[in-house]
Homo-oligomer: A and B are copies of this chain.
Amino acid sequence: MTELDLAGQGVATLETAPTRYVEGHGIRFAYRRLGPATGTPLILLQHFSGNIDAWDPVVVNALATDRPVIAFDNAGVGRSTGQTPDNVAAMAKDALAFINLLGLSEVDLLGFSLGGCVAQLIAAEQEQLVRKLILVGTAPKGGEEHLLAVLQEAFSQTDAPDPRLPLFFTKSSASRSSGLAFLKRTKLREDDRDTDNGPAVTDPQAKALITWCATPDPEHSILRAILQPTLVVSGSHDTMLPANNAYAMFKELSNAQLILYPDSGHGALFQYPEMFVSHVRTFLEAPPATA
């Protein structure tokens, strides 16, 4: 199905867009492409254990009203083939291969959690390719993470309808209620849903995230190599990758804006979807600072 076919069918959404595939470097990548045919595409880099259908349709569809948005499964994840690597550098290499396979010469990156670590590396190494960077609920190399403790706590809550409820949201009724609404939205797509991930994905991903945070980077070499305008976003009470990471990244990055949301956890971007989209749009549309 071509872009024009899609246009003829009305606006494609995360729930309705066909999953497409592109192959190269020994990997067949699954992805969905939304939004207009022209403009700098925004590439979404997903969190630990997530697949394409783990994105919030409200966020993705709203972002795609005025720019191309591409959600994909990195190597080994969801319906992409290949092996999930156990380190962020290899994930960045795979993601870069995917971007190159699509023939894109300029992109914006939105990396959430583990995807934010991957996005940092790509931006640091690809100054020409990456125009702007959005880092959500993530950590710098050598940052603070509580992945295993938080996962253990979340999976012990057997009454939770989905581990993402305690993992991504706070215990307040407002946050919990936003969380339930988010979970409902991620289930809207019925046909052609992405494949859930098992230990072959989550084990190496957990190792990658933990190693990333356990490896000191006292000179902040990665953050300092990121020259692109960067928006750093975090929830006030992110138990997995605390907001202190966001503030620390803001201080080391040369051109960063920081936005922290109230009463929110790791999934702050899904708790305040309209506000998050407004902030992303304002950031992506801001003209470069002029001397």
Contacts and interface: CB of A to CB of B under 8 A. Distances in A.
Interface of A: 172-174, 177-178, 229, 236, 247, 250-251, 253-263, 272, 274-275, 278-279, 282, 286, 289-291
Given A173-B291, A278-B282, A256 B250 contact: no
A36 to B, nearest CB: 22
Contacts of A251: 236
B250 A236 contact: yes
Contacts of A247: 247
A117 to B, nearest CB: 21
Contacts of A272: 286
A258 B257 contact: no
Contacts of A257: 259-262
A258 B259 contact: yes
A177 B275 contact: no
A291 B174 contact: yes
A198 to B, nearest CB: 35
A9 B220 CA distance: 57
> Which of A177, A258, A290 has the most CB atoms of chain B within a 10 A radius of its CB?
A258
24 contacts: A173-B291, A174-B289, A174-B290, A177-B290, A177-B291, A247-B247, A250-B260, A254-B262, A254-B263, A255-B262, A255-B263, A256-B262, A257-B259, A257-B262, A258-B258, A258-B259, A258-B260, A259-B259, A274-B286, A275-B282, A275-B286, A278-B282, A279-B279, A279-B282
Nearest to A181: B290
A257 B256 CA distance: 17
A155 B27 CA distance: 63
A190 B136 CA distance: 46
Nearest to A234: B258
Contacts of A275: 282, 286
A177 B259 CA distance: 25
A58 to B, nearest CB: 15
